[in-house]
A and B are shown apart, each in its own frame.
Chain A
Amino acid sequence: MKNAGAISWSAVDTREASLIARCTSGDEAACTELVATHQRMVYALGLHLLGDRDEALDLSQEVFLRVFRTLSSFRGQSALRTWIYRIVINQARNRQRWWRRRHRASQVSLDEHLQQCGDVDSGTIELPDRLLASKETAARIWQALERLPFDQRTALVLREIDGLRYEEIAFSLGVAVGTVKSRLTRARQALRAELLGLRT
């Protein structure tokens, strides 16, 4: 059994450090607890970054396998959640690169898709105009989010949806805090342009 006490846990609380130590020693209950704690977060981030449910499920499976394989090398340089975010982002980036290489020829732009299949389904249930407009606006903004470059999209998702601080986003992306700010600014400018376009 590995001795987790030798590790310096600067950014991890005692309960999390204990959980990690039990996982690395092969405690099945601890592994289950770790997955149960983070599975929703991992799946959601994968879904937001990749935009596809099946892809997100595959991704979350890969992420947890990698987490358990590399957990012994985790030194508490960040919160466990942030460390897992980093793995998710790296796996998503690899998956997107792979997908682009394999399916570049069959890619269709969103504009072409809308021309062929019509606009995005805004729901068949009758809703008040204001609520319907809000839902449509949200859907269009989400589409604009999916068109953003991967790094900008990731920064914005981590900030707006997952609520990470700039330092946590910087660690997850492996970049400086200033880079995070500039990516957030560019992403928001693009989405705001989309929003202003919807109003006119």
Chain B
Amino acid sequence: MTQYVGCDHARELLEGLLDGELSMTDQLAVESHLRWCRTCALHLDDLRHLGASLRHEAAAKQGDADAERTVAAVHEAVLMRVRAEQDQSWGVRVRETFSDMRLFWPALGATAAVAVCVIAAGSVLQATGVQRQESLAALISNLSSPAPLKPAEDGFFGVAIPRPNEDDAERTGGTLDAFPEDDLIFFVRAVVDAEGRVSNYDVLLSGDGGAQRSVRDRAVLDAVAQTRFVAAQGNMGRSRAFDMVWVIAKATAVVGPVVEIAAPVIPAPVAKAAPQPEVQPPSVADPRSSTNRPRFRRPTISATA
């Protein structure tokens, strides 16, 4: 049974019919339509007329005998050139390869762009190659492969603890001379910032509970506030803030040798979450010292992280 097609659909298929590109079903449907549709038949005639006219004119244009001879001569020249090219140097071949520069410049531009991108990416990778210790990558790396703890070589876990200047240490300890008590000891918690200044200080424990305590505490705290430290030094040589407990003591030897308190005492590290005041060990009389030497006072330093 032949399929019925309307004029609109038939017009779409006319060119396929003319060119012999329709399926058998479509061809039968269109030919059936053309039997009764005069308009579409005329349309198809027009298309046939166009094709015939083009072929006629094309034949007229290329049918010239002189042109035939010219074509043959040109192609003889082509063959001669082909033979010559077979013996040509590589330089000439490369030049002729690039004779059509239509795609050369876009290709060159694209290549240059790729090269720039590769160089930029390499620069970024190189710049990020040095891993900073405080970076997230370093943290993950350390957590994934923890290294054994090294013993502290100099200071507190590789950090050189802050030390007061000699003059400041003497002045701070000398503050206690203004008070008549023979033996005094202060535990001051202080934060020494990266520039060696004391900030955020507090008296943890003072020597006794006498009437002059508040006056004495203020005097000691004023002296502490004015003290300048050599700031703590980290592994990379950078200055760091340091939270520590500073022990300031005045000890008196009434009879016998001079009491000498050793210079800074660095105790074992104490957990930061629960800092405990350090208690200065009792002074030990040195029997080798002379009895007529003056009494000597020196502040001592103890630190907790």
Contacts and interface: CB of A to CB of B under 8 A. Distances in A.
B54 A156 contact: yes
Interface stretch (A6-14, A40-48, A77-85, A107-115): A40-48
A139 B47 CA distance: 16
B166 interface: no
Nearest to A192: B46
Given A28-B79, A32-B79, A166 B19 contact: yes
Considering residues B55, B67, B78, which has the most beta carbons from chain A within 10 angstroms of its beta carbon?
A: B78
Interface of B: 15, 19, 21, 46-47, 49-51, 53-58, 60-62, 67-68, 70-72, 74-75, 77-79, 81-83, 85-86, 96, 100, 102
Contacts, number: 99
B57 A141 contact: yes
A57 B74 contact: yes
Contacts of A20: none
A132 to B, nearest CB: 13
Considering residues B47, B58, B72, B86, which has the most beta carbons from chain A within 10 angstroms of its beta carbon?
A: B58
Contact of B58 (A44, A53, A60, A69): A44
Interface of A: 26, 28, 31-32, 35-36, 39-40, 43-44, 47-48, 53, 57, 60-61, 64-65, 68-69, 94, 97, 134-135, 137-139, 141-142, 145, 156-157, 159-161, 165-166, 181, 184-185, 188, 191-192, 195-196
A36 B212 CA distance: 125
Contact of A61 (B55, B67, B77): B77
A44 to B, nearest CB: 5
Contacts of A188: 15, 47, 50
A44 B61 CA distance: 9
B58 A48 contact: yes
B70 A57 contact: yes
